[in-house]
């Protein structure tokens, strides 16, 4: 008798978990402007000190990266041209040796490499623990 009760309780718990996962609303992805396809960390994120920046642009755009009001030299930014992905990480030879705890403001300004001009900018912040 107790086996049937435990089985029923187990099935009920499994059903609750499945329905909770299926019915939980997804948070909407933040709207990114124009040619910006993705940024990491995202706006408002709380991250660890080892975090790297990733800016995924549409192919054919170049960026100027500014961190906390300091323009980062192009020589410090890793760029993969076929995908339009820019990466930057603090380090001993970079403009910033490490992320300091607190809020950091990131700004990118972009322009199209060829064709019609399409300048723009995007600013976001994240917090380092």
Tokens at residue 93, please? 């030879």
* Rounded Cα distance, 37 and 52, in Å: 17
For the chain, which residues make up each domain, given as ranges?
A: 36-128
Q: Could you tell me which CATH number the domain at 36-128 has?
A: 2.60.40.1220
pLDDT per residue as tens, the chain (129 positions): 878 877 777 777 776 766 666 666 655 556 899 899 999 999 999 999 999 999 999 999 999 999 999 999 999 999 999 999 999 999 999 999 999 999 999 999 999 999 998 999 999 999 999
First-to-last alpha carbon distance for the chain, in angstroms, is 53
* Rounded Cα distance, 44 and 105, in Å: 10
113, 109, 89: which is closest to 99 by C-alpha? 89
**DSSP H or E run through 125:** strand 120-128
Note the pTM of the prediction, 2 decimals: 0.77
What per-residue confidence (pLDDT) applies to 11?
76
């Amino acid at each position: 008798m107790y086996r049937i009760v435990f089985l029923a309780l187990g099935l009920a718990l499994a059903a609750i978990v499945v329905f909770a996962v299926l019915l939980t609303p997804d948070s909407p992805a933040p709207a990114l402007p124009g040619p910006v396809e993705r940024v990491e960390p995202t706006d408002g994120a709380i991250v660890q000190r080892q975090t790297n920046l990733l800016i995924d642009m549409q192919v054919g755009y170049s960026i100027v990266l500014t961190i906390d009001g300091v323009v980062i030299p192009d020589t410090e930014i890793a760029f993969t041209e076929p995908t339009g992905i820019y990466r930057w990480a603090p380090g001993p030879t970079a403009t910033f040796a490490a992320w300091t705890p607190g809020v950091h403001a990131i700004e990118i300004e972009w322009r199209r490499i060829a064709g019609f001009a399409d300048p723009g900018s995007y600013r976001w912040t994240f917090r380092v623990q």
